[in-house]
Amino acid sequence: MKKFKHWHHFIPLFGILSAGFIGFFIFSFNQVFQALIMIVMATSYVVWGLLHHYRHEDLHINVIVEYIAVSFLGLVVILSVIFRA
Amino acid sequence: MKTIEHFLHLFTPRHSNDHKAKIIHNSSIFTIGLVLIAFQLVLQGLPKIGIKILGYASSIPPDKIVTLINQKRQDQGLPALTSNSQLTQAAIAKGNHMLANGYWAHTAPDGTEPWYFFTSNGYQYKYAGENLARDFMDPESAVEAWMASSSHRENILSTRYKETGVAVVEGSLSGTDSTIIVQLFGAKLSDSGTQATIAKAAVEATATPTPKVEATITPAPTKPVKEPISTPTAAVIANVSPEPSPVEEAGASAQVTRESGGLRYLFSPFDTTRGVSFSVIVLLFIVMVIDMIYVNTKKIPRLGGRTLAHLAFLGTILLMIIIAKVGNIL
């Protein structure tokens, strides 16, 4: 069975995502806070991806674009929902 | 046959898409994001071309708001607020002013402050405050949202206020039907026993947790200070439409929604946005799971992001979509 390398890199990722989700929930009455939390979470996700792949020595422009694309989509989705509420 | 090929090309890893479903290629993800932005622009633009959208025409009994607020106060050992007809009229006036002038704020674009509605309805205040809410599905949610905000909570639990007035107005706000709750808090100048020379007003603002705005005015000495005219048995809570003369009082609780010209579509922008967003993210999530299983099974070498990380991120987005609530306070 293939060993799951660098699993410990995922601890900060889950920390970022958990903090984002909890913050989003706690500030459910404040759209601006929620939007800021989402922006910080999406940015942190990209930074995490870059650091992870840098340490994994497979950081490539395609990888960078992929993280930006996924975080961009997440940002669009959540901001749409927040400001339609 | 060609359709099936195209479907497989879009959603499954295969030779034609370089062993990665086309829909999760970087270009496709960016495209989906841009399409979602375009969708929002279309939703935003519908009212401008005369198409009316039904936002929320929820049933919010104003007296229920007062009851809930007083429950919160009593939980803290504070005396209940009494309903005041002048404050109720002021709340109606404020709600209608927002609908008529198309704004959602404490201060109108023309600079009209909340205090104007107090004094113009004959309420000479010593203290005054305002909480606003819109598009909540029920009164409990609105009150809970206020209680979750420190500045709104401060208004609700303030010992300075003795009276309140609540209005629920329905109408078109920027082309979308909205239900706005206006709750005004006050203490009469005459209640202080002596004529105070300075009146204070506290209003909630939206962006920060401590947005209290203090305004100071000098009441005109020639204005008579009226005694409260509300009685416990006479409801002074109104539930109104934004018609030019919408005064409904003393138990007149029928909600009237203004019908304006143009096409009228019965859908909720929030629910539509949430449904579309949820579907898109679930679709990408499933495709990524298939992709991850395929890559691991076939041991395909690939230079790209961690699918597990993307799944965690998209999973968080899904949870956020699920817990997102409709309703807005100010």
Q: How far is B204 from chain A (nearest CA, A)?
A: 13
Residues contacting A12, CB < 8 A, separation 6+ = A48
Lowest mean pLDDT among A13-17, B80-84, B145-149, B257-261: B257-261
Name the residue in chain A with its Cα closest to that of B32.
Answer: A73
Burial (CB count within 10 angstroms: exposed 0-12, middle 13-18, buried 19+), residue B297: exposed
Which one of B37, B135, B303 has the shortest CB-CB distance to A58? Answer: B303
Q: How confident is the model at residue A3 (pLDDT cuts 50, 70, 90)?
A: low
- pLDDT surpasses 80 at B18: yes
Q: Is the pLDDT score of B19 beyond 50?
A: yes
What's residue B248's pLDDT? 34
Phi/psi for B72 (5° steps) reads: -60, -40
CB within 8 Å: A70 and B310: yes
**Alpha carbon distance B176, B228 (integer Å):** 36
pLDDT of residue B215: 37
Closest CA to A73 of B269, B310, B22, B18: B310
Backbone angles phi, psi at A12, to 5 degrees: -65, -30
Contact B186, B127 (CB under 8 A): yes
Longest Cα separation, chain A: 47
Per the CB < 8 Å rule, is B148 touching A28?
A: yes
Mean pLDDT lowest for which of A51-65, B45-59, B308-322? B45-59
Mutation site, B36, B152, B317, B328, interface A, largest A CB count within 10 A: B317
Give the residue-averaged pLDDT of B199-212.
37
Q: Is the pLDDT of residue B227 over 60?
A: no
Q: Which residues of B touch A14 (CB under 8 A)?
A: 312
In tens, the pLDDT along B231-250 reads 332 333 344 443 333 333 33
Quick one: pLDDT at residue A42? 97
For residues A79 and A35, is the Cβ–Cβ distance under 8 A?
A: yes
Q: Rounded mean pLDDT of B157-169?
A: 91
pLDDT of residue B58: 58
Which ranges of chain B does DSSP label H, i.e. alpha helix? 2-11, 26-45, 62-75, 85-101, 114-120, 139-148, 150-156, 269-298, 307-323
- Average pLDDT in the B70-95 region? 91
Which amino acid is it at B217? I
A77: nearest CB among B145, B281, B325: B281
| Percent of chain B clearing pLDDT 70 (strictly above) | 73
Residue B274's closest chain A neighbor by CA? A81
In the prediction, which pLDDT does A57 show? 86
Residue B216 — pLDDT band, cuts 50, 70, 90? very low
The interface residues of chain B toward chain A in range 8-47, judged by CB-CB distance below 8 A, are 26, 29-30, 32-33, 36-37, 40, 43
What b/e sequence results for B40-66 when a residue is b if at least 16 CB atoms lie within 10 Å of its CB, and e otherwise? beebbebbeeeebbbbbebebbbbbbb
Q: Is A29 in Cβ contact with B146 (below 8 Å)?
A: yes
Q: Which of residues 285-324 of B touch A (CB under 8 A)?
A: 296, 303-306, 308-310, 312-314, 316-317, 319-321, 323-324
What percent of chain B is predicted at pLDDT more than 90? 32
Mean pLDDT of B153-176: 86
ipTM of predicted complex:
0.94
Q: Does residue A71 contact residue A17 with C-beta atoms inside 8 Å?
A: no
Q: What is the mean pLDDT of residues B32-50?
A: 85
Lowest pLDDT segment from B141-145, B220-224, B294-298: B220-224
Mean pLDDT of chain B: 76
DSSP helix/strand/coil, B162:
coil
Does the pLDDT value for residue B24 go beyond 90? yes
Does residue B254 have a pLDDT over 70? Answer: no
Q: Amino acid identity of B80? A: A
pLDDT of res. B271 = 83
- Spatial contact of B94 and B128, defined as CB atoms under 8 Å apart: no
Quick check: B260 pLDDT over 70? no
Q: Which helix (H) or strand (E) holds A17?
A: helix A10-26
- B143 to chain A: nearest residue by CA? A29
Chain B contact present for A16, CB below 8 A: no
Does residue B269 sit at the A interface (CB-CB below 8 Å)? yes
pLDDT in tens, B101-155: 888 889 899 888 889 898 888 888 888 999 998 888 788 888 888 888 888 999 9
Chosen for mutation from B56, B134, B137, B306 (greatest number of chain A CBs closer than 10 Å) is: B306
Q: What's the predicted TM-score (pTM) here?
A: 0.69
Nearest to B40 among A2, A62, A80 (CB): A80
The confidence score (pLDDT) of residue B264 equals 59
Question: Among B140-149, B158-167, B215-224, B321-330, which stretch is predicted with the lowest mean pLDDT?
Answer: B215-224
